[in-house]
Chains A and B, each alone.
Chain A
């Protein structure tokens, strides 16, 4: 693999390879010289502090250096330079590129334009494959397996890029999915068709109480964004129903709670200290997973 652009480019074996290598990479988390002398360019055309810091941390732990920008207003992009030209210039200064860009498909185009490896750190509302890989790594690390699990996804399933990619990646495994969302924010038909084609069992529910009679091992929570609702009243009506508090633990029982973060108020802070909460560990896992991808694309293998 030259680049990491879309989770759709990964089959089960390739996913497993990343997860196994990430486990090995945890042994190097205190620092290594695997990528000594290498330079990573982080091209963030729109801000995403968390993802950028995670990549920077990963590169520095590997012994490499980082250059880049975190917003495009101060760059030649503001003067009208094409994306293809910008990445071709970055290629001259670096050995590997991580790109975050507001347009869908930008990372694929960037990868086509240059010969150094490109990692997609989010292209518009399309893909964010390193998030999905760290989600899978978290599930496997914390629950010991992915096969035979029941995974619930809750919140905005219509526009949520992370849940779309995660559902797609999980479809390589023997799993059951539960989709919990307001009716107006259901999982899109084309994703449900993909799942059906791969014989993945899924159920759609709209009340958290419905989870009382359903066993889920993992509950993946996403934010419901106000701007997705044409009617503000409808938003006010649903937002409270998709909020995890101590009382919700009656319904979700021992399920591990994951969240791509940032959260607004969909998980109450009192959940943080419960054994259910996985979301901070999940964020930590981003580092060994991104270390693995950076190192592998530059020729490392354990």
Chain B
């Protein structure tokens, strides 16, 4: 673990590793880290034996919830989420794009019923590489670009 991390190890918190290179800012924005008071370190284009290059984000004293992990998976599908306690990794999860993405994305289709009736949005995963998800209601297909826009808080 120590060898992998380019920035100082953290005592408690979350390390998001194997972020698609160049996507760390995106992930940070989705997690609204700029608004949080947590100490956050970003590492961009770190060399990695596994995937060539990667980004890393370390968030001190904050554990990510399941919903937050799901949001990350949409832009950084290969990321791992490590929960750190007392400098030790106590939990390590591969983020996975869920087959069903509920409530965290808004549909880009302005005529989608989810824009009119009180209902949580729901998307079904069609392909993770390249990313293609389909609105369960209006059947609009979203690409990675659409997803990024949909993740942005309106």
B141 in contact with A105 (CB, 8 Å):
no
Contact partner, A104, options B109, B118, B119, B141, Cβ 8 Å: B109
Residues 113 to 140 of chain B near chain A (Cβ within 8 Å): 113-119, 135-140
Distance in Å: Cβ of B133 to nearest Cβ of chain A: 12
Given contacts A103-B113, A104-B109, A124-B111, contact A109 B119 (CB under 8 A): yes
Contact across chains for B118 and A105 when beta carbons are under 8 A apart: no
CA gap between A259 and B115 in the complex, in Å: 32
Tell me the minimal C-beta distance from A189 to chain B in angstroms.
10
Q: Check if B137 sits within 8 Å of A104, measured CB to CB.
A: yes
- What's the count of A-B pairs with C-beta under 8 Å? 54
Chain B residues within an 8 Å CB radius of A83: 113, 116-117
- A108 vs B140: C-alpha distance in the bound complex, in angstroms? 13
Assembly CA distance A124 to B112 (angstroms): 9
Q: How far, in angstroms, from A83 to B111 measured CA to CA in the complex?
A: 14
Interface size (B, Cβ < 8 Å)?
A: 17
Beta-carbon contacts of B95-116 to A below 8 Å, as 1s and 0s?
Answer: 0000000000000010111111
Contact A108 B136, CB 8 Å, known A103-B111, A103-B112, A124-B111? yes
A-contacting residues of B (Cβ < 8 Å)?
109, 111-119, 135-141
B101 → chain A closest CB, angstroms: 15
| Contact A82 to B137, CB < 8 A, known contacts A103-B111, A103-B112, A104-B112 | no
Chain A: interface residue total (CB-CB under 8 A): 19
Q: For the complex, what is the distance from the CA of A126 to the CA of B137, rounded to whole Å?
A: 9
Q: A150 contacts which chain B residues (CB < 8 A)?
A: none
Specify which chain B residues have a CB less than 8 angstroms from the CB of A108 in the assembled complex: 113, 136-137
Point out the residues of chain B lying under 8 angstroms from A8, CB to CB.
Answer: 139
Listed A/B pairs (11) with beta-carbon separation below 8 Å: A83-B113, A83-B117, A102-B111, A104-B109, A105-B112, A105-B136, A105-B139, A106-B113, A108-B113, A108-B136, A109-B119
A104-130 interface with B by 8 A CB criterion: 104-106, 108-109, 123-127
Q: A124 — nearest CB in chain B belongs to which residue? A: B111
Are A84 and B140 CB-contacts (below 8 A) given A104-B111, A105-B113, A106-B113? no
Structural contact, B139 and A124, CB atoms closer than 8 A? no
**Residue in B112, B117, B135, B138 whose beta carbon sits within 8 Å of that of A84 in the complex:** B117
CA distance A124 to B118 in the complex (A): 18
Which listed residue, A6, A103, A125, A126, touches B116 by the CB 8 Å rule? A103
- Partner pick for B118 among A6, A82, A126, A190, CB 8 A cutoff: A82
Q: Cβ of B109: which chain A residues have Cβ within 8 Å of it?
A: 104
How near does chain A come to B110, taking the closest CB pair, in angstroms?
A: 9
Chain A nearest CB: distance from B107 CB in Å?
8
Known: A82-B117, A109-B117. A125 touches B111 (CB 8 A): yes
Residues facing B in A1-19 (CB within 8 A) are 6, 8
Q: Which residues of A contact B113 (CB under 8 A)?
A: 83, 101, 103-106, 108-109, 123
Q: Among A82, A109, A126, which residue has its beta carbon within 8 angstroms of that of B139?
A: A126
Q: What 10 A-B pairs come out closest when comparing CB atoms?
A: A105-B137, A104-B138, A105-B138, A105-B113, A103-B113, A106-B113, A108-B137, A83-B117, A104-B111, A109-B113
**Closest-CB distance, B115 to chain A (whole angstroms):** 8
Q: Report the separation of the CA atoms of residues A109 and B135 in the bound assembly, to the nearest whole angstrom.
A: 12
How long is the Cα–Cα vector from A84 to B115 in the complex, in angstroms?
A: 13
B149 → chain A, closest Cβ, in Å? 17
User: How distant is B126 from chain A, measured CB to nearest CB, in Å?
Assistant: 10
Bound form: Cα–Cα A102–B113 in Å? 9
Closest A residue to B134 by CB, please name it: A8
Return A113 CB to nearest CB of chain B, in Å: 9
B141:A84 contact, CB within 8 angstroms: no
Given the complex, which residues of B lie within 8 Å of A82, measured CB to CB?
A: 117-118
Q: Which of B111, B113, B118, B140 has most A Cβ within 10 Å?
A: B113
Which residues on B sit within 8 Å (CB–CB) of A123? Answer: 113, 138
CA distance A106 to B136 in the complex (A): 11
Measured CA separation A82–B117 after assembly (Å):
6
16 more contacts with CB within 8 A, not counting A105-B136, A105-B138, are A8-B139, A82-B118, A83-B113, A83-B116, A84-B117, A103-B112, A103-B113, A104-B137, A104-B140, A105-B112, A105-B114, A105-B137, A108-B136, A108-B137, A109-B117, A124-B138
